Amino acid sequence: MAGALVVEAVLSASLQVIFDKLASCWLIDCVWRWKDEEVLLKKLKASLVFAEAVLSDAEHKQITDLTTKGWLNQLEETVSDAQNLLNGIEARNSPRRLSGRSRSKLLEDILDRLEIMARQKDAFGFIELGVQPLQTSPTMSLMEEPNIYGREEDMEAILGLLLSDDAPSNPICVITIVGVPGIGKTTLAQSVYHDKSVEGYFDFRVWICVSNRLDVYSVTKTILEAITMVSCDTKDLNLVQLRLKEELIGRKLLLVLDDLCTEDCSEWNKLRSPLRFCAQASRTIVTTRSEITAAMTCTLPAYYLSPIPYDDCWLIFAQHAFDGGVGAPDPNLEAVGREVVRKCRGLPLVVKTLGVLFRSKPNHREWNEILTDSMWDAPHDLSSCVQALSVRP
């Protein structure tokens, strides 16, 4: 009995991450209505980040429970199948030669297997151990830096959705950007928000960082104040929403709800009520790490962000670590820096954070020790690695 409890505690942190991110993703009917291959590919790539993290973590731990071992073996097989499919498509070999319908079927089959495994979480009785996100401070619409790396195609796609003449049948058109913490959801939304074509297209643009619990009154009041530029002292939600409705009638609104995480459909519907009176071309952008939030809010297929390429990660790192240059004066130091970048798994916020830290501690021996530290064995929680490095003497 004691051994089983140890296994339960050891695996719970890793498994909680993957299950929370995957379980709902394929349980929501609306996700399955969208059979677009690119959407499925983005979803699968995002899912593999968490699945591989579980396997990596399990390799470094003593697991004696045969049932748990069997479950992990199934997960490893599923991850292997997913990687083979992705590699085949990217290499343009056999899976690419299949018909589009067959490729989509293969993707759906693998996603379905992951869904089944996610449902088995409760049967194992794992306890819930929360993982702190990398970024917890409120965000703003203004960008900290002028450049955005590795997101040119993503930005073009989001701009296309924002400025498309093919407006939906109702003005509450929600574009949901989904991804793991640190992958660049906020930065992408900021870049789109300040694009010249967007600035001149909408009558009103409003940015709200939600972060914690969705407070309908607070968000509605902020939208009203941002539009009118007048403080609102009304405490009654109904009155605030009526005033907002009058301001929005026939006007084009771009509303960004950054870092939204809610499963409360009722509160979400309350928030949307006055938005129904906007012009048809109005848009709402939601950034979230939650699959449940994405499925509940989006009116278009959710847009999944993938990790950015290594070369772009290196440009971000070099900008912060080496006075904006492309490399370090010391070749040995640059070599260590490049290994640091490879540890970041394509997450730009992690790259930036470690670049700043690297600049303050430019000692290649110290960083060689850091690179071999066991903390990297838990890649599902890179924020913990960054926090550990920040306090390292």
By CB atoms closer than 10 A (0-12, 13-18, 19+), residue 194 is: middle
- Between 389 and 117, the higher pLDDT residue: 117
From residue 333, give the alpha-carbon distance in Å to each of 66, 197, 321, 364. 45, 42, 10, 5
- Whole-number pLDDT of residue 275: 93
Mean pLDDT value of segment 113-129: 53
Query: Is 80 exceeded by the pLDDT of residue 102?
Result: no
Name the pLDDT band for 310 (thresholds 50, 70, 90).
Answer: very high
Is the Cβ–Cβ distance between 345 and 307 less than 8 Å?
yes
Query: Is 50 exceeded by the pLDDT of residue 232?
Result: yes
Mean pLDDT value of segment 22-48: 51
Q: Rg of the chain's alpha carbons, rounded to an integer?
A: 22
Mean pLDDT value of segment 361-384: 68
Q: Determine the length of the chain.
A: 393
- Whole-number pLDDT of residue 240: 94
What is the 3 state secondary structure string of 350-373?
HHHHHHHHHHHCCCHHHHHHHHCC
Q: Which residue, 185, 119, 138, is CA-closest to 158?
A: 185
CA triple 253-178-13, angle to 5 deg:
140
CA distance 122 to 101: 33
From residue 225, give the alpha-carbon distance in Å to each of 243, 272, 273, 316. 10, 17, 17, 36
CA distance 12 to 10: 6
End-to-end CA distance of the chain: 40
- Whole-number pLDDT of residue 127: 31
Query: Is 90 exceeded by the pLDDT of residue 93?
Result: no
Which residue reads 């990790």 in tokens? 307
User: Where along the chain do its domains lie?
Assistant: 2-124, 152-304, 310-390
Name the pLDDT band for 182 (thresholds 50, 70, 90).
Answer: confident
Name the pLDDT band for 203 (thresholds 50, 70, 90).
Answer: very high
CA distance 333 to 363: 7
Mean pLDDT, the chain, as a whole number? 75
Is the Cβ–Cβ distance between 17 and 381 less than 8 Å?
yes
Which residue reads 């929360």 in tokens? 130
248: which residues sit within 8 A by CB, 6+ positions away?
204, 227, 274, 275, 277, 278
CA distance 101 to 99: 5
φ/ψ (deg, to 5) at 314? -65, -40
Characterize 101-125 residue by residue with b for buried, 16 or more Cβ atoms within 10 angstroms of its Cβ, and e for exposed: eebbebbeebbebbbebbeebeebe
Q: Which of 6-15, 150-159, 325-334 has the lowest mean pLDDT?
A: 6-15
CATH classification code of 310-390: 1.10.8
Mean pLDDT value of segment 254-282: 91
Please tell me which of 58-67, 117-126, 137-146 the model is most confident about, judged by mean pLDDT. 137-146
φ/ψ (deg, to 5) at 294? -60, -45
| Three-state DSSP class for residue 265 | helix
- Between 2 and 329, the higher pLDDT residue: 329
Query: Is 90 exceeded by the pLDDT of residue 12?
Result: no
Mean pLDDT value of segment 263-292: 91
CA distance 295 to 28: 7
Query: Is 50 exceeded by the pLDDT of residue 259?
Result: yes
Q: Name the amino acid, one letter, at 388.
A: A
Mean pLDDT value of segment 107-116: 76
Which CATH number is 152-304's, of 2.70.98.90, 3.40.190.10, 3.40.50.300, 3.40.50.2000?
Answer: 3.40.50.300
Query: Is 60 exceeded by the pLDDT of residue 124?
Result: no
Q: Which of 133-137, 158-162, 328-332, 363-367 has the lowest mean pLDDT?
A: 133-137
- Whole-number pLDDT of residue 10: 40
Query: Is 80 exceeded by the pLDDT of residue 183?
Result: yes
Query: Is 90 exceeded by the pLDDT of residue 380?
Result: no
Same fold, 152-304 and 310-390: no
CA distance 288 to 303: 10
User: What is the pTM for the complete model shown?
Assistant: 0.65
Mean pLDDT value of segment 33-41: 56
Is the Cβ–Cβ distance between 85 and 95 less than 8 Å?
yes
Residues forming beta bridges with residue 175, ordered by sequence position:
285
Name the pLDDT band for 154 (thresholds 50, 70, 90).
Answer: very high
Pairing state between β 204-209 and 174-178: unpaired
The alpha carbon dihedral of 241, 246, 249, 251 has a sign of negative
